[in-house]
Amino acid sequence: MNYKRSPIEIESPEQYGYDKIKHNLSESSFTDMRLSDLDISLDDIVLAYGDHLGKPELRGLIAAEGAALHADDVMLTPGAAAALFIVNTVLLKPDDHIVVAFPNYATNLTTPRAIGCNFDLLTLRFEEGWRLDLEALAQRITPKTKLVSLTTPHNPTGVMLSEADLRRVVELVEANGCYLLLDETYREMAFGGLTPLGASLSPRVISISSLSKSYGLPGIRMGCLICQDQTLMQQFLAAKEQIFISGSLVDEEIAFQALRRKSAMLDEIRAKIAINFEAISGWMSAQSQLEWVQPQGGVVCFPRIRLDLPVNLDTFYQLLNHKYGTWVGPGHWFEHDRRYMRIGYGWTSRDTLLAGLNTITQAINDARQD
Ligand SMILES: Cc1ncc(COP(=O)(O)O)c(C=O)c1O
């Protein structure tokens, strides 16, 4: 394995220092919760090793999301990040062929790279509304393909696969005898109806999720992978046991208590996100210097400074970060030109969001070269 740190991790707000940022528009989750928001007591937890797959009752709650899924189809992991790592390292060897959507959340690219896989990037384009081109996907899958890796709702664009397209992708992986790694970390933040949990559609699909984004709980590091293929699950469990043995019982209990109140929590969270989404949509519609593809879910979007606008990007980010104290995810976090920027609109209050957005307009004005 050849590990390399990614800019999105090196330059993340938690590494830079939250206290140095005035308007944090770089987050990809809902507002971080406090333990006291959850109103739970952890006093009775016995700090033993836990069930190696994870707390059975919590796995049961997660499995209830998908038709015909069982608690043993769910394995808890420290964040979706660990689930992605386990799935990639179990399924892939050096030189294996994989098809991965691009851009993507960094780990979906960096782990297969660290393994030394043979990549076919499925490039999503602004001009095409960041939509997945199913024909292009079908052409890239070969008998040698081991894995197709997609994210929906997508990070950094917020664009989603429709249910019909998801079912078509599942047919493609089944017909070709490969697997679909479906990163559904933002699934419960879809603005319209939810698509079925990928893993409920076929044993060839491995769904990845976590409580980090939709519930604002990244600090408990609670994610999962979901898969109906019990032979594969044994391999995933072997990998988990070699790294962690079992998960943190404290994290699992907090996650369990939160998910027991899932429907009330999500109603409140979605209502707050809707307020901020309206704010950013209003702001975007007044921008002549920026353009975007409206997201369909999640809490991030990936607008760009218009290509014909003469802007010094070094000056823009210098002013944005250090004069105005605003942090966004610059395009290079996603191996894109820095005219693109990921804006997270679900983490701050509406007022801080609008104040931060206005500094983006100001920094572009200041950095214009015409
Ligand atoms: C699409 C996606 N998958 C997985 C993760 C990892 O999140 P966590 O490990 O906190 O669950 C992230 C974090 O940004 C993400 O955006």
State the average pLDDT over residues 45-50. 96
Confidence of residue 55 (pLDDT cuts 50, 70, 90): very high
Beta strands in 49-185 (DSSP E): 74-77, 97-102, 118-123, 145-151, 179-183
pLDDT digits 0-9 by tens, 166-196: 999 999 999 999 999 999 999 999 999 999 9
For residue 300, give the H/E element and its range.
strand 300-301
Domains 7-28+263-367 and 45-260 share a fold: no
Spatial separation of the C-alpha atoms in residues 235 and 238, rounded to whole Å: 5
* pLDDT tens-digit series, residues 236-270: 999 999 999 999 999 999 999 999 999 999 999 99
Q: Classify the C-alpha dihedral 106-107-113-119 as positive or negative.
A: negative
How many CB atoms lie under 10 A from the CB of residue 267? 9
Q: Cα 116 from chain centroid?
A: 23
> What does pLDDT average to over the chain?
96
For 3-30, the pLDDT digits (tens) are 999 999 999 999 999 999 999 999 999 9
- Above 90 in pLDDT, residue 143? no
Look at residue 111 and tell me whether its pLDDT is greater than 90. Answer: yes
pLDDT reported for residue 134? 96
Residue nearest to atom 15 of ligand 1 (CA): 105
- Rg (alpha carbons) of the chain, rounded to whole number: 20
Q: Mean pLDDT throughout 150-163?
A: 97
**pTM of the entire predicted model:** 0.96
| 341 — pLDDT class (breaks 50, 70, 90) | very high
pLDDT of residue 117: 96
- The count of C-alpha atoms lying within 13 angstroms of the C-alpha of 326, restricted to the half-sphere facing its C-beta, is 26
186 Cα: distance to centroid of ligand 1 (angstroms): 9
Q: Please give the class, per CATH, of domain 7-28+263-367.
A: alpha beta
The whole-angstrom separation of Cα 34 and Cα 156 is: 26
pLDDT at 1 over 90: no
CA of 213 to the centre of ligand 1 (A): 7
Domain boundaries, the chain: 7-28+263-367, 45-260
208 CA distance to ligand 1 middle (Å)? 9
* Average of per-residue pLDDT across 222-244: 98
CA of 80 to the centre of ligand 1 (A): 5
Task: Look up residue 169 and give its two tokens.
Answer: 């992708």
Can you name the CATH fold of 45-260? Aspartate Aminotransferase; domain 2 (3.40.640)
Supply the pLDDT for residue 146. 98
Measured in degrees and rounded to the nearest 5, phi and psi for residue 206 equal -115, 115
C-alpha separations of 29 from 1, 177, 189, 190, 344 in Å: 29, 34, 10, 13, 7
Is the CB of residue 185 below 6 angstroms from any atom belonging to ligand 1? yes
Select from 12, 26, 105 the residue to mutate for testing ligand 1; criterion: most ligand atoms less than 8 Å from CB: 105
Instruction: Give residue 2's pLDDT.
Output: 85
Q: What is the CA 215 to chain-centroid distance, rounded?
A: 13
Bond preceding residue 143 cis, omega within 30 of 0: no
Query: How far, in Å, is the centroid of ligand 1 from the Cα of 28?
Result: 8
- Rounded to 5 degrees, φ, ψ at 212 are -65, -45
Summarised one tens digit per residue, pLDDT across range 278-331 is: 999 999 999 999 999 999 999 999 999 999 999 999 999 999 999 999 999 999
What are the residues facing 149 on neighbouring strands? 100, 181
Is residue 319 within 8 Å of residue 363, measured between CB atoms? yes
Dump the DSSP string for 182-208: EE-TTGGGBSSPPPPPGGGT-TTEEEE
pLDDT tops 90 at residue 39 = no
CB of 149 shorter than 6 A to ligand 1: no
